[in-house]
Structure 1
Amino acid sequence: MVANASRGPFKADVVGSLLRPAKIHEARSKLAAGSATRDDVWKIETDSVDEAVGLQKDVGLKVCTDGEYHRRHWFVDFVEKIDGVGFAGGLPTRFQTEAGFIEFSPPKVITTGKLRRTRSLAVDDFKDLKPLADKAGLTPKQPIPSPTLVHFRSGDPGVDKKAYPDIAEYYHDLAQVYRDEIKALYDAGCRYIQIDETNFPFLCDPNMHDHVRSIGEDPVKLQMKYKNLINAVTKDRPDDLTIAMHMCRGNHESAWAASGAYDFVAEVAFGELDIDAFFLEYDTERAGTFEPLKHMSKNKTAVLGLVTSKKPQLESKDLLKRRINEASKYVPLERLALSPQCGFASTIGGNKLTVDEEKAKLRLVVDTAREVWG
């Protein structure tokens, strides 16, 4: 899919989360203390979403998200609403920064019963965003975590055998949950969805293969299982619905969890996933070269995440242009676009930069895209 002026992906695009304002943190603290209700917090979050839409419009974007302000974590708030999903403690993960390591344990997802969608997973968030985006004249985009998140953290051993004696039925039901949510989003007026995917890029890191084997999987065969799962989710979608995928190696308080070039997954991910566009981390050497983009099939767009969301220093516009030109050796320029490498606050604390620095990053994306594509 070639990016254009009226439909995503846009030449200057945005990934998802934005730094949360202090009033959201204060409201959530009151909620935890019992001095505020969830409705109270929602109203404050909605006011903040309106401000986030204004921020994205002010920097020149034609697209916006809600900053993920109704979430405390990029995937937990979504998957915990799926019937049959549970959590079994944390999955210890060593996140890395340029200065050292951060120990963080995202929840270990397990399946305790039949997987069903009986309520909104992200639709309520989108219904809150859409009128604000419409008022601002922007296209609203809804990020959702990948269905692979439900499986990867515990694998088949984390699936209740009474509920799913046949693992194929598990994958079928998981895909149906997502199909139902995507239909509900579409019915609510959403035409641009982004699947946030960590596990394909995690497979690019040989250090992650030990975890894959610990859950009884093979790093190569697991790609095929996840390809089939995602393609079952996106199958038969409406022609006017764009579904993109953001590939991330971890984003927690300016730290990352994995490193590795896309080569290990490129043929399957770029060549065989039924996805319209890929948002790809390319802000550091951790992501390797652009050569794996040669596997990008059909009319898929590669949105280059050349502007890091992990630190405040602004990239050189000339360097960004040179890197876009380098990528165009593998994907035609008209099928390239530009974005930040990730969101600015995948977890509630956010990355180590200020709102003004966040805005400068987004404005750099817009200005560079305008000079490259017009």
Structure 2
Amino acid sequence: MTLRDTPPFRADHVGSLLRPARLLQAREQRATGKIDADELRAVEDDAIREVVAMQRDAGLRSATDGEFRRTSWHMDFIYQLGGISRTDEKIQVHFRNADGELDFESAALAVDAPVRLDETIFGEAFAFLAATVEPGVTAKLTIPSPSMVHYRGGRAAIDPAVYPDEDQFWSDLSAAYAEQVRRVHDLGCRYLQLDDTSLAYLNDPAQRALLTSRGDDAEHQHLRYIKQINAAIQDRPAGLAVTTHMCRGNFRSSWAAEGGYDFVAEALFSELAVDGFFLEYDDERSGGFAPLRFVPPGKMVVLGLVTTKRGELESKDTLKRRIDEAAKYVPLEQLCLSPQCGFSSTVEGNVLTYDQEVAKLRLIAETADDVWG
């Protein structure tokens, strides 16, 4: 068994990283007009240089910019798609954690014109990252999957005067994503990740009931999402690895959904045309490894066994045991290791320290080296 030279890597991570205090301060100063956009960008640039070096020093083969230029892992991207606007309405997402409950609120969206790609989203951000990583480290770009544009509002968010036929909406959305994929490849991107909460949420009966109540076809929604992601990436250039990460919610160490991958597993693993699946497996909310039996040869599974929701460091022996358990359903050579989610899916970040974050990334690299190196 050997370490991999192509993404996803044996030791990997999802994308977002804790924002340093000086970056949070600069964002606040920008919001109140105390500094201008160029001054904020300079702080972001310095913070990204440092966090790229941290990922390298931790032993990782890939590096993201930590999503340091974003407020949210997905809405910063979605609002830049042509034809999609913020609304005055609010999206309420109910989260839970070990200590209780809390709610997350963000602006809703409306599809009020034909969906299109007006400019390469995160293009400048990726170009900076690509110029920052050292030889031997692969720059990774994370963006929300096409599913997220629909899941946040469903059919009700799509203006029927613009799209009387929902199939045309999906066609335009996938075409916009396909153009985004082509453009970031032209910028040098060789590792693209499509982040997706919907495909994990749909395993939760409560989430399916919520979708049904708003008029969506919850029992078949995942099939549409798989189809449209495939349409978005089917013509991706050779040499571009595409993965997806499926999350049950990650906001200030809290989650929104629970349940194993059983409901979506057969269609998801056998039909979604990505190169690898980043899967949450840090606690009992994620269910068991049996759904991995549907993963076909050649597809990689990145086991998210290390939690980003707590600072306590996992046992290396426990991680190895769980990797062995997963290998009963999918061959060991198709497995990799990562945290279960990002450390800071929103700007607020999860409840752990920078040193704890670094320790977890190092643990992942060391464990992967023990298992596959």
TM-score (norm 2): 0.97
Report the Cα offset of residue 63 of structure 1: 0.9
Residues in 2 aligned to 1:43 and 1:214: alpha-carbon distance in whole angstroms: 46
Spell out, residue by residue over 1:326-370, the C-alpha distance to the aligned partner (whole angstroms, 9 max, x if none).
000111000000000011000101000110000000001001000
* 1:319 match: secondary structure: helix
- The answer to whether the aligner puts 1:261 opposite 2:260 as a matched pair is yes
* 1:279 match: secondary structure: strand
Q: Is the 8 A contact 2:58 2:361 kept in 1?
A: yes
AA matched with 1:313: E
Structure 1 unaligned segments of length 5 or more: list them. Answer: none
The aligned residue for residue 371 of structure 1 is 370
The aligned residue for residue 329 of structure 1 is 328
* 2:244 match: secondary structure: strand
Report the Cα offset of residue 159 of structure 1: 0.4
* 1:220 match: secondary structure: coil
Q: Is the 8 A contact 1:192 1:241 kept in 2?
A: yes
Spell out, residue by residue over 1:303-341, the C-alpha distance to the aligned partner (whole angstroms, 9 max, x if none).
000000010011111110000000001110000000000
- Aligned runs of 1:172-191 on 2, under 5 Å? 172-191=171-190
- Aligned runs of 1:211-230 on 2, under 5 Å? 211-230=210-229
C-alpha RMSD of the superposition: 1.3
Q: Is the 8 A contact 1:12 1:338 kept in 2?
A: yes
Residues in 2 aligned to 1:299 and 1:5: alpha-carbon distance in whole angstroms: 13
AA matched with 2:265: A
Residues in 2 aligned to 1:34 and 1:255: alpha-carbon distance in whole angstroms: 32
Residues in 2 aligned to 1:316 and 1:222: alpha-carbon distance in whole angstroms: 38
1:187–1:91 distance in 2 versus 1, CA, 3 Å? same
Report the Cα offset of residue 110 of structure 1: 2.1
Q: Is the 8 A contact 1:143 1:194 kept in 2?
A: yes
AA matched with 2:184: L
The aligned residue for residue 9 of structure 1 is 8
Q: Is the 8 A contact 2:120 2:184 kept in 1?
A: no
Report the Cα offset of residue 108 of structure 1: 2.4
Residues in 2 aligned to 1:268 and 1:183: alpha-carbon distance in whole angstroms: 26
Q: Is the 8 A contact 1:280 1:302 kept in 2?
A: yes
Q: Is the 8 A contact 1:243 1:276 kept in 2?
A: yes
The aligned residue for residue 273 of structure 1 is 272
Residues in 1 aligned to 2:236 and 2:124: alpha-carbon distance in whole angstroms: 21
Residues in 2 aligned to 1:352 and 1:210: alpha-carbon distance in whole angstroms: 30
1:215–1:297 distance in 2 versus 1, CA, 3 Å? farther
The aligned residue for residue 109 of structure 1 is 109
The aligned residue for residue 100 of structure 1 is 100
- Aligned runs of 1:1-374 on 2, under 5 Å? 5-88=4-87, 89-133=89-133, 135=134, 137-374=136-373
Question: Which segment drifts farther, 361-370 or 112-121?
Answer: 112-121
* 1:310 match: secondary structure: coil
Residues in 2 aligned to 1:181 and 1:261: alpha-carbon distance in whole angstroms: 31
Residues in 1 aligned to 2:135 and 2:309: alpha-carbon distance in whole angstroms: 28
Residues in 1 aligned to 2:182 and 2:2: alpha-carbon distance in whole angstroms: 23
Q: Is the 8 A contact 1:194 1:243 kept in 2?
A: yes
Q: Is the 8 A contact 2:141 2:192 kept in 1?
A: yes
* 2:343 match: secondary structure: coil
Residues in 2 aligned to 1:166 and 1:215: alpha-carbon distance in whole angstroms: 18
Residues in 2 aligned to 1:148 and 1:37: alpha-carbon distance in whole angstroms: 34
Q: Is the 8 A contact 1:3 1:9 kept in 2?
A: no
AA matched with 1:259: E
Spell out, residue by residue over 1:236-274, the C-alpha distance to the aligned partner (whole angstroms, 9 max, x if none).
212211000000000001001100100000011111111
Q: Is the 8 A contact 1:311 1:353 kept in 2?
A: yes
Residues in 2 aligned to 1:276 and 1:137: alpha-carbon distance in whole angstroms: 20
Residues in 1 aligned to 2:324 and 2:282: alpha-carbon distance in whole angstroms: 15
* 2:220 match: secondary structure: helix
TM-score (norm 1): 0.97
Report the Cα offset of residue 3 of structure 1: 8.9
AA matched with 1:71: R
Spell out, residue by residue over 1:34-63, the C-alpha distance to the aligned partner (whole angstroms, 9 max, x if none).
122222211211111100101101111111
Q: Is the 8 A contact 1:3 1:337 kept in 2?
A: no
Residues in 1 aligned to 2:7 and 2:72: alpha-carbon distance in whole angstroms: 25
Report the Cα offset of residue 136 of structure 1: 5.6
* 1:108 match: secondary structure: strand
Q: Is the 8 A contact 1:110 1:150 kept in 2?
A: no
Residues in 2 aligned to 1:67 and 1:354: alpha-carbon distance in whole angstroms: 15
1:350–1:136 distance in 2 versus 1, CA, 3 Å? farther
Residues in 2 aligned to 1:349 and 1:195: alpha-carbon distance in whole angstroms: 21
Report the Cα offset of residue 4 of structure 1: 5.1
Residues in 2 aligned to 1:268 and 1:359: alpha-carbon distance in whole angstroms: 35
AA matched with 1:156: R
Structure 2 unaligned segments of length 5 or more: list them. Answer: none
Q: Is the 8 A contact 1:109 1:151 kept in 2?
A: no
